[in-house]
Homo-oligomer: A and B are copies of this chain.
Amino acid sequence: MTRYALALDLGGTHVRAAVVDEHGHVLRAVRTRTHAEQGPDAVIERMLALARQILEQRSEDERILGVGVAAPGPVDVASGMVMHPPNLPGWGTVPLADLISRSLDVPVWLGNDANLAALGEHRFGAGRGVAHLIYITVSTGIGGGIIVDNRLLVGAHGLAAEVGHMPLVPEGPLCGCGHRGHLEAIASGPSIAREAQAAVARGWKTSLAKVDHPLRAEDVVAAARDGDQVAREILARAGEFLGRGMALLAHLFDPQRFVIGGGVSNAGDLLLEPARAAARRHVLPAYRDTFDVVRAQLGDDAGLVGAAALVFDMVG
C-alpha cells in the first residue's frame, strides 16, 4: 500500500488538484478556472468536484492520508481559515479546511501558498537537504516561505515570511498594500512591466517599443534574452533590489540558500546575477560566503507538492 496525499491549490486564476506520493511525484492532476468573482461557495464547490473526480480515479492500493490545501495568504494555519485574501476579493473569513474536511470526510491541513511552495522546494526541489533556506517567488506579487532548521516558519498567527513587503526605498513606488517602496512594488512582474512601459514612453531604443499588446514581464524577459539592453537593465534593477532584500534576510535568518521561483525567475541569471552581486555588496563581511542563490525547480507544482508535504509532515 503506497501512501499518498491529495493536494489542492487555490490560485487566483486556477484551482488545481493532484494526487502526490511521498517522493513528491504528481501521480495525476486536474485543473479548472477559479472564477473567484463568483465568491467562495461556488469556488469551493468547484474545488470539491475536482477533488472527488481525482479520488474516483483511485486504484485499490492508493491510500490517501489526507488533504493539503495551498491558499492565498493570509491564512490562519491553526484554525484552517482563509483570512480576507487580497487575491480573492470579497472572500472575507472562510473556514476552508473545515468545509473540505466535512465534505470529503478526510483530515485537511491548510497553508499559505508561498509558504507551501517553500516547503515543496525544500522537500523535493532546489532546497533538498538544506536545513535553512528562504524561498522567494517573484510573480504578480512577491511572496515567500522560510525554512528554519528543516521546519516551515509560520509564526504566531500563520503570517510569517511576508517577504514582498520589506520596505527598501522609503519614498519608492506605491505598493498594492498602500505603503511605498516595498520589494513587491519594485521587483514584481507588474513593476517590471511598468518600468518597461515607462522606458518605451521615454523613447528609449528598445525592441519593447514594437510589442503590440500591453507590456508584461514576460516580454521584458524575452527581449532581454534576445540581447535588448534596455530590457536587461530593467531586469538588473529588479535583481538589484531583490538582492538588497536577500541581504536583509541573510542578516535576520542566516540561511544557506535562497531559492527564487515565480514567473519572473524564468529570466535566470539576467535577474539572479545582479541579485547575487547586490546581496554580497549589502551584507556584513561575516555573511559574504554563507549562502548561495539558485532557481526553483518545481515551477507551478511547488505549491501542490508542498501541500502534499504538509500532509506527510502532519501524519508523520
Complex: A167 Cα to B166 Cα, angstroms: 10
Q: A106 within 8 Å of B by Cβ?
A: no
A171: nearest residue on chain B (CB-CB)?
Answer: B170
The interface size bin for chain A is 35 or more
A156, B168: Cβ atoms closer than 8 Å = no
| Residues from chain B with Cβ under 8 Å of A156 in the complex | 131-132, 254-256, 290-291
A286, B83: Cβ atoms closer than 8 Å = yes
B286, A159: Cβ atoms closer than 8 Å = yes
B83, A254: Cβ atoms closer than 8 Å = no
B157, A248: Cβ atoms closer than 8 Å = no
A148, B153: Cβ atoms closer than 8 Å = yes
CB-contact partner of A155 in B74, B158, B159, B253, under 8 A: B253
A254, B157: Cβ atoms closer than 8 Å = yes
How many copies of this chain sit in the oligomeric assembly?
A: 2
Q: A252 within 8 Å of B by Cβ?
A: yes
B282, A167: Cβ atoms closer than 8 Å = yes
Complex: A78 Cα to B201 Cα, angstroms: 55
CB-contact partner of A249 in B250, B252, B255, B291, under 8 A: B252
A286, B74: Cβ atoms closer than 8 Å = yes
Which residues of chain A have a CB within 8 Å of any CB of chain B?
A: 74, 83-84, 131-132, 146, 148-149, 151, 153-163, 165-170, 177, 179, 244, 247-256, 282, 284, 286-287, 290-291
Given A74-B286, A148-B155, A166-B252, list of 18 further CB < 8 A pairs? A83-B286, A84-B286, A132-B155, A148-B148, A154-B254, A155-B255, A156-B254, A156-B255, A157-B254, A158-B254, A159-B251, A160-B253, A163-B252, A165-B251, A168-B170, A170-B170, A248-B248, A252-B252
